[in-house]
Structure 1
Amino acid sequence: MAEQSTPETSSPGAPAEGAPSEEGVSKKAAARKSPPKGAISENAPPRGAVSQEASSKGVISRRRLLGTAGATGLALGAAGGAAGYAAAPSADRTALLSSLGADEVMFHGKHQPGITTALQARGHLVAFDLSAGAGRKEAAALLRRWSTTARRLMAGEASASADTDVARDSGPSSLTVTFGFGHSFFARTGLEKQRPIALDPLPDFSSDHLDKARSNGDLWVQIGSNDALVAFHALRAIQQDAGQAAKVRWQMNGFNRSPGATSQPMTARNLMGQIDGTRNPKPSESDFDRRIFVPDAGDPSWMAGGSYAVVRRIRMLLDDWEKLSVKAQEDVIGRRKDTGAPLSGGTETTEMDLEKTDADGGLVVPINAHSRITRPDENGGAAMLRRPFSFHDGIDADGVPDAGLLFVCWQADPLRGFVPVQRKLDRGDALSTYIRHESSGLFAVPGGVAEGEYVGQKLLEG
């Protein structure tokens, strides 16, 4: 898990060095057009709405504050997020508007959001199955509703239906909502001929202990945000929008370190305390798009600009791991625990010397070290963009933490990305003693959409 995982940010909205950055991210998206008249129902007031009572007490919304400041020519934070803040000196207002709540990711674009977006502090992964009797028509209507809701919430607006007001006081907070289709979706909708070959079920691995009830699904939604309430609000809205068309199959909740929690940008750490993400592919690399996204001339055509997400719930056996000495933990991973540097020397980003030996002639980086096995140059160039969340779901009946990694990786073809790496890990990864793969899913995530379109429209109306 240590070699390819997305670096996190440590300052609001700013990717860590080498971290992927989302196309179309607007950090302070002022000058947003107002929603069409009547677009928001009486039951779903804009998140910037101010009650008469609040107005009388001198509390103003973020939207009104932005509008007032904008009239003076200041380039201030994201429109759409409402916040009931007490009147404060202008310096305090400026600090408020530069907070991570103002960060916005664009819904429209060549690729869906939430793939190259920097790691977010909070995430929800949820899979749905279409209800009995629901087919292509119902699925299209659902994706249309979901796309509308995602666009509005990512802009810091209320959902178009009965909004729960959970995030009324928040800005967009880097919210992303990403949608995908599972293998079973195509039979349910009569679209088997449009099912990609790359979506064929993953092979069995000897280390799997999979719970079928928490694996796969017709539809998959990934939600991420730097604010837990904003993420939950989006999750609830997506669940409500499903209505009678689809039912939740499984849901998983995750987290990462919050932006700004470290003094400088740093690669993320996982729950084992290891720096996790040193060798993740970067958009600046010339072959990044080829490895991660389906080409415009790809097959099938509706997947152009899309990607394939492998989702695995990987439980970490923390009680066993924490009994190891730091030296033993480093030998399992192949990197120093404090700095993330390879055991062969240097800094975190120094190229690992796989042939270096110690005074006794033994390999400095053990032959079964996780970071050695997962290197792309040790796997025929196989690469995947890892973008995980940690999870902790309490303590089980034996007093053992139910915690680990919600592994999400992206690639243009899982047979050239995840599968060859996992097969090699399956044959002798030192880390396998301390982890357990408990659920799995593979989803086709279509490309992004233009204004007026919904996710999956080319598939469902093609």
Structure 2
Amino acid sequence: MRAPRLSRREALAGVAIGAVAGGAAMRLADAAESAAPQAVRPFDGPRQAGIVPPPQDHLTLAAFDLHTPDRADLPRLLRSWTELVVALCGADPVAHDTGERTGLALGRLTVTVGFGTSLFDGRYGLGARRPAGLAPDALPGDDRLDPRRSGGDLLVQVRGDDRQVVFHAVHQLTNAALGIARRRWTQHGFLSRAGSGETPRNLFGFKDGTVNPGADDDAALARHVWVASGPLTGGTYLVYRRIRMRMQAWDRSSLDVQEHAVGRRKAGGGALDGGDERAPLALRSAPPRSHVRLAHPDANDGVRMLRRAYNYDDGATADGEPDAGMAFLCFVADPARQVGSMLTRMERHDELHRYLVHTGGGVYAVPLAPAPGEHLGEELFR
């Protein structure tokens, strides 16, 4: 049953065209893969794009709230967005194109659509279809997040290597939603272009990540990323946290304090007791309250996540501190088990936590790519 659907989804896509340390327990899996050219395509076979392939240079997250009383407007919008995703990724001309990407290479543009917990309230009669991972209490501390930077009925993740191409995609999707949904919040992110084989650094100056499941590790992806049962079978959950880094407090801390909070050396990324960043980490040698020790899969019953973290710089807070930090994203099969328990442990014990402020976030169900003639999420709502 799955094999025919694969080929139909590929037919919808047309052709494949051309081509801090907060959570240091998760890393860009394969530097060589990151450097390889990626084909521009609306969907990755049976699944939406923008999940497994290596991250691009630029990110925009845009959350939308529906404001229509007509339930029929939801599939109408999702059908329009589905057609737009195909067009934006180069398979078709973009209808009513606003023109700002004219002459620009698409690069590795991807668009990913998710559904928030609030979509499954009583407004549209979708409560019985709510995926289990969208439980309101899935993650600790959500009640302390800024609602102006959190939640949303729909989430669009747009990533690419050209900032203006990313803007164009979000612009088109927003225009298509006029009269049905309005923008709730927006978050931009960026990544440095590390040298070949090098791990990018976050805004605390540390190399960011280790032990991410590889794109070709089907067993790990099946265990940690893809949902095994229920209305979201084969899809995944996107977990987002906007984490402001307390830069002034961090900058006043000594290098020794910083390294013991993280559990790795700042310059090379290796363990405190020696070795390079890729050497296996002996948890017992890491400080008990260090981030890498508390976040490592071996300290969490083997739980892993497909981590995608971006830096952000949004100027200054009302009191003049830098409003900069990490737009943390990860894809998981079970948000409460894989992310919720880890967040609880970090809030209580992580030495790095005192330098971090969680200001926004949400959990979103990411369904499979649509079959030909269907729209994004049609399986979930059928």
Same fold (TM over 0.5): yes
The answer as to 2:265 corresponding to 1:336 is: yes
Unaligned 5+ segments in structure 1 are 28-102, 357-364
Seen in structure 2, the aligned counterparts of structure 1 residues 418 and 181 have a Cα distance that, compared at 3 Å, is same
- Measured against aligned partners, the alpha-carbon deviations of 1:296-318 in whole angstroms (never above 9, x if no partner) come to xx112xx1221011111100011
Query: Aligned partners of 2:194 and 2:363: how far apart in 1?
Result: 33
What secondary structure, in the 3-state scheme, does the structure 1 residue paired with 2:281 have? coil
Larger Rg: 1
Seen in structure 2, the aligned counterparts of structure 1 residues 335 and 404 have a Cα distance that, compared at 3 Å, is same
> Which residue is 1:223 aligned to?
158
Instruction: Describe how 1:326-365 pairs up with structure 2 within 5 A.
Output: 326-356=255-285, 365=286
> Which residue is 1:33 aligned to?
none
- Contact 1:8 / 1:265 at 8 angstroms: preserved in 2? no
What secondary structure, in the 3-state scheme, does the structure 1 residue paired with 2:43 have? coil
> Which residue is 2:28 aligned to?
7
The answer as to 2:349 corresponding to 1:428 is: yes
> Which residue is 2:90 aligned to?
155
> Which residue is 1:75 aligned to?
none
> Which residue is 1:190 aligned to?
125
Aligned residues: 359
The answer as to 2:214 corresponding to 1:282 is: yes
Measure how far apart 1:123 and its partner are: 0.9
Measure how far apart 1:4 and its partner are: 4.0
> Which residue is 1:111 aligned to?
47
> Which residue is 1:271 aligned to?
203
- Contact 2:237 / 2:364 at 8 angstroms: preserved in 1? yes
Measure how far apart 1:3 and its partner are: 2.3
What secondary structure, in the 3-state scheme, does the structure 1 residue paired with 2:87 have? helix
> Which residue is 1:255 aligned to?
190
Query: Aligned partners of 1:9 and 1:249: how far apart in 2?
Result: 35
Instruction: Describe how 1:29-428 pairs up with structure 2 within 5 A.
Output: 103-107=39-43, 109-135=45-71, 137-155=72-90, 158-160=93-95, 162-187=96-121, 188-203=123-138, 205=140, 209-257=144-192, 261-285=193-217, 286-295=219-228, 298-300=229-231, 303-356=232-285, 365-428=286-349
Seen in structure 2, the aligned counterparts of structure 1 residues 169 and 157 have a Cα distance that, compared at 3 Å, is farther
Query: Aligned partners of 1:397 and 1:182: how far apart in 2?
Result: 29
Seen in structure 2, the aligned counterparts of structure 1 residues 120 and 390 have a Cα distance that, compared at 3 Å, is same
Measure how far apart 1:422 and its partner are: 0.8
Q: TM-score, normalised by structure 1?
A: 0.73
Measure how far apart 1:398 and its partner are: 3.0
Query: Aligned partners of 1:457 and 1:430: how far apart in 2?
Result: 44
Query: Aligned partners of 2:283 and 2:31: how far apart in 1?
Result: 31
- Measured against aligned partners, the alpha-carbon deviations of 1:79-137 in whole angstroms (never above 9, x if no partner) come to xxxxxxxxxxxxxxxxxxxxxxxx524425222111112111111111111114132x1
- Measured against aligned partners, the alpha-carbon deviations of 1:7-50 in whole angstroms (never above 9, x if no partner) come to 28878xx416xxxx9xxxx84xxxxxxxxxxxxxxxxxxxxxxx
Q: TM-score, normalised by structure 2?
A: 0.88
What secondary structure, in the 3-state scheme, does the structure 1 residue paired with 2:157 have? strand
- Contact 1:333 / 1:370 at 8 angstroms: preserved in 2? yes
Measure how far apart 1:389 and its partner are: 1.5
- Contact 2:63 / 2:184 at 8 angstroms: preserved in 1? yes
- Contact 1:8 / 1:119 at 8 angstroms: preserved in 2? no
Which residue identity does 2:343 align to in structure 1?
A: Q
- Contact 1:182 / 1:217 at 8 angstroms: preserved in 2? yes
Instruction: Among all aligned residue pairs of Structure 1 and Structure 2, give the percentage whose two residues are the same amino acid.
Output: 37
Q: Which has the higher contact order (CA 8 A, sep 6+)?
A: 2
Which residue identity does 1:182 align to in structure 2?
A: G
Which residue identity does 1:254 align to in structure 2?
A: G
Unaligned 5+ segments in structure 2 are 1-21
Query: Aligned partners of 1:254 and 1:373: how far apart in 2?
Result: 26
Q: Which moved more, 1:199-208 or 1:147-156?
A: 199-208
What secondary structure, in the 3-state scheme, does the structure 1 residue paired with 2:336 have? coil
- Contact 1:8 / 1:268 at 8 angstroms: preserved in 2? no
Seen in structure 2, the aligned counterparts of structure 1 residues 8 and 376 have a Cα distance that, compared at 3 Å, is closer
Query: Aligned partners of 2:309 and 2:89: how far apart in 1?
Result: 20
Query: Aligned partners of 2:79 and 2:27: how far apart in 1?
Result: 30
- Contact 2:139 / 2:335 at 8 angstroms: preserved in 1? no
Seen in structure 2, the aligned counterparts of structure 1 residues 108 and 138 have a Cα distance that, compared at 3 Å, is farther
Measure how far apart 1:204 and its partner are: 6.2
Seen in structure 2, the aligned counterparts of structure 1 residues 200 and 399 have a Cα distance that, compared at 3 Å, is same
- Measured against aligned partners, the alpha-carbon deviations of 1:307-365 in whole angstroms (never above 9, x if no partner) come to 01111110001111111222221111001111211113211121112234xxxxxxxx2
Seen in structure 2, the aligned counterparts of structure 1 residues 198 and 10 have a Cα distance that, compared at 3 Å, is closer
- Contact 2:139 / 2:336 at 8 angstroms: preserved in 1? no
- Name the one with the larger helix percent: 2
Query: Aligned partners of 1:226 and 1:411: how far apart in 2?
Result: 24
- Contact 2:311 / 2:326 at 8 angstroms: preserved in 1? yes
Seen in structure 2, the aligned counterparts of structure 1 residues 387 and 154 have a Cα distance that, compared at 3 Å, is same
Seen in structure 2, the aligned counterparts of structure 1 residues 113 and 446 have a Cα distance that, compared at 3 Å, is same
Seen in structure 2, the aligned counterparts of structure 1 residues 263 and 186 have a Cα distance that, compared at 3 Å, is closer
- Contact 2:53 / 2:215 at 8 angstroms: preserved in 1? no
- Measured against aligned partners, the alpha-carbon deviations of 1:52-99 in whole angstroms (never above 9, x if no partner) come to xxxxxxxxxxxxxxxxxxxxxxxxxxxxxxxxxxxxxxxxxxxxxxxx
What secondary structure, in the 3-state scheme, does the structure 1 residue paired with 2:205 have? coil
What secondary structure, in the 3-state scheme, does the structure 1 residue paired with 2:182 have? strand
Query: Aligned partners of 2:61 and 2:30: how far apart in 1?
Result: 21
- Contact 2:150 / 2:361 at 8 angstroms: preserved in 1? yes
